[in-house]
């Protein structure tokens, strides 16, 4: 990939922060946006704005066509069998809530179990805990090793005939650990359970093929993969989605609402619209389609290899620095471009504030993954995370500052 050419596509990278060129290392939180995405959104509002699916006038037809084209692009991008398996949501959080509410309220009861790992983002823990309180099912947790990798033996041993769904992040947003979700999905299916993966940190950074992984659900967010905020995706296998009751009711998700005698009879729309109540973020979905075009043109293997190269380089440099502790596995073949660390003498927020003085954007805190921080025995951590426009020169500058602080 020609990184210098890529950088020209991102207007925000020309910004100065505190008088220094911006170095953006907070990509796991949200990515920056190229002109093509910004232009797709502007173009929609300037020339095609109309509500989708509901009118026969030209603007509505154009908007519908652009919207549904994005669904097709996303379907191809993750190798779904059909665009009907792609449901637009507000993001990963809403996608997981959709499954938790639809599946949980419909089919899970006091004899059932949901299995999650302790490395999850809160958005893959809290919805399950909320529904478990209403429905009386048990939420079980698979352990995580001290280096942040999944304890596979423990996780597999907790999959039983009572398990109705296993929920696991594909890539941890704290350590960058890549989980072998394909292998877990096989064991889940052998026991009659469904498999949901949180792809918030995998889909933007690597090739994800839902048919190859054979997962039942995949959730991800547009804003972490060059797209706008407010739009995300739930992929669901047709067979699983067909059995589920809609999470939200309203316009667009019904086929028919009629009154017979004294009661209302409602029938659901076809997939995927059955799960898309109300007017969606039309511009956001079109922007996400442009983001997919950008990533496809780069090639997801190139994206992955570039980030892997940066992670390897940064890890080797940081290992030589005094007063810095790196977390996560030492085997880099198991991880993506996310580096959690602590700087001796500074809290994570102090570390991020200090780097901000130098124009470097880092994340600090527990990154919505408190259980994992408990396991790592950390109140919080600082986190650098890379994407397609980051360079080794930026990492050199980052290291230079750490060395200045150490001297």
The answer to whether 117 contacts ligand PLP (rule: CB under 6 A) is no
103 or 402: CB nearest ligand PLP: 103
Among residues 221, 269, 311, 351, the one that binds ligand PLP under rule CB under 6 A: 221
Contact 74/236 with Cβ under 8 angstroms?
A: no
Q: Report DSSP letters for 191-242, one per residue.
A: TT-EEEEE-TTTTTTS---HHHHT-SEEEEEGGGTTS-TT-EEEEE-HHHHH
Beta strands in 223-359 (DSSP E): 232-236, 254-260, 263-268, 324-326, 338-343
Residues 135-164 that bind ligand PLP (CB under 6 A): none
* Closest CA relative to residue 173, chosen from 25, 315, 340, 291: 340
Beta strands in 79-162 (DSSP E): 86-89, 113-117, 138-142
Peptide bond into 272 cis (omega under 30): yes
Among residues 93, 97, 117, 179, the one that binds ligand PLP under rule CB under 6 A: 93
Site string for ligand PLP, 200-219 (x = CB under 6 A): xx------------------
Q: Give the C-alpha separation, 76 to 64, whole Å.
A: 19
The answer to whether 175 contacts ligand PLP (rule: CB under 6 A) is no
Task: Considering the candidates 105, 317, 321, 368, report the single residue annotated as catalytic.
Answer: 368
Among residues 92, 163, 179, 390, the one that binds ligand PLP under rule CB under 6 A: 92
The answer to whether 121 contacts ligand PLP (rule: CB under 6 A) is yes
Q: Contact region for ligand PLP (CB under 6 A) — 80-88, 195-203, 299-307, 313-321? A: 195-203
Site string for ligand PLP, 19-38 (x = CB under 6 A): ---------xx---------
- Residue 317 is a catalytic residue: no
Size of the site for ligand PLP (CB under 6 A): 13
231 or 402: CB nearest ligand PLP: 231
Pairing relationship of beta strands 86-89 and 23-24 according to DSSP bridges? unpaired
Q: Contact region for ligand PLP (CB under 6 A) — 50-58, 86-94, 376-384, 391-399? A: 86-94
* Closest CA relative to residue 352, chosen from 375, 385, 320: 385
Length of the chain in terms of residues written: 407
201 or 381: CB nearest ligand PLP: 201
Q: Give the C-alpha separation, 96 to 125, whole Å.
A: 9
Residue 81 DSSP one-character state? S
Q: In the bound complex, what is the minimum distance in angstroms from residue 358's beta carbon to ligand PLP?
A: 24
Q: In the bound complex, what is the minimum distance in angstroms from residue 64's beta carbon to ligand PLP?
A: 25
Q: Give the C-alpha separation, 224 to 319, whole Å.
A: 28
The answer to whether 364 contacts ligand PLP (rule: CB under 6 A) is no
- Assigned token pair, 5: 């050419």
Phi, psi of 259, rounded to the nearest 5 degrees = -105, 125
48 or 224: CB nearest ligand PLP: 224
- Assigned token pair, 30: 């949200």
Q: In the bound complex, what is the minimum distance in angstroms from residue 272's beta carbon to ligand PLP?
A: 19
The answer to whether 169 contacts ligand PLP (rule: CB under 6 A) is yes
Among residues 85, 198, 276, 394, the one that binds ligand PLP under rule CB under 6 A: 198
Q: In the bound complex, what is the minimum distance in angstroms from residue 399's beta carbon to ligand PLP?
A: 25
Provide the CA 40 distance to its chain's centre, in angstroms. Answer: 22
Q: Which residues bind ligand PLP (CB under 6 A)?
A: 28-29, 91-93, 121, 123, 169, 173, 198, 200-201, 221
Catalytic residue numbers?
368
């Amino acid at each position: 990939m020609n990184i210098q050419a890529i950088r020209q596509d991102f207007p925000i990278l020309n910004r100065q922060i505190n008088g220094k060129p911006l170095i953006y290392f907070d990509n796991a939180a949200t990515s920056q946006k190229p002109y093509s995405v910004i232009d797709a959104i502007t173009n929609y509002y300037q020339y095609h704005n109309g509500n989708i699916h509901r009118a026969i006038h030209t603007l509505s037809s154009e908007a519908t066509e652009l919207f549904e084209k994005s669904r097709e692009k996303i379907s191809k991008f993750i190798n779904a069998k059909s665009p009907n398996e792609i449901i637009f949501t507000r993001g990963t959080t809403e996608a997981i809530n959709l499954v938790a509410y639809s599946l949980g309220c419909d089919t899970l009861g006091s004899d059932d179990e949901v299995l999650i790992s302790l490395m999850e983002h809160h958005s893959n823990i809290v919805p399950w805990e909320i529904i478990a309180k209403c429905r009386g099912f048990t939420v079980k947790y698979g352990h995580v090793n001290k280096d942040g990798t999944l304890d596979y033996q423990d996780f597999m041993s907790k999959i039983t005939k009572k398990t109705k769904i296993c929920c696991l992040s594909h890539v941890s947003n704290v350590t960058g650990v890549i989980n072998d979700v394909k292998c877990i999905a096989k064991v889940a299916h052998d026991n009659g359970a469904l498999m949901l993966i949180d792809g918030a940190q995998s889909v933007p950074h690597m090739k994800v093929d839902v048919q190859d992984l054979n997962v039942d659900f995949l959730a991800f967010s547009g804003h972490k993969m060059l797209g706008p905020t407010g739009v995300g995706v739930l992929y669901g296998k047709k067979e699983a989605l067909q059995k589920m009751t809609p999470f939200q009711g309203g316009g667009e998700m019904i086929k028919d609402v009629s009154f017979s005698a004294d009661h209302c009879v409602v029938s659901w729309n076809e997939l995927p619209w059955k799960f898309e109540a109300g007017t969606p973020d039309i511009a956001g979905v079109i922007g996400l389609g442009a983001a997919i075009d950008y990533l496809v043109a780069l090639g997801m293997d190139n994206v992955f290899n570039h980030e892997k190269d940066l992670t390897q380089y940064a890890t080797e440099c940081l290992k030589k620095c005094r007063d810095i502790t790196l977390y996560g596995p030492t085997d880099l073949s198991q991880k993506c471009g996310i580096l959690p660390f602590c700087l001796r003498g500074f809290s994570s927020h102090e570390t991020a504030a200090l780097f901000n003085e130098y124009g470097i954007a880092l994340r600090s805190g527990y990154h919505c993954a408190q259980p994992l921080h408990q396991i790592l025995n950390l109140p919080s951590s600082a986190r650098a995370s890379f994407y397609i426009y980051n360079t080794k020169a930026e990492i050199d500058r980052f290291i230079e500052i750490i060395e200045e602080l150490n001297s």
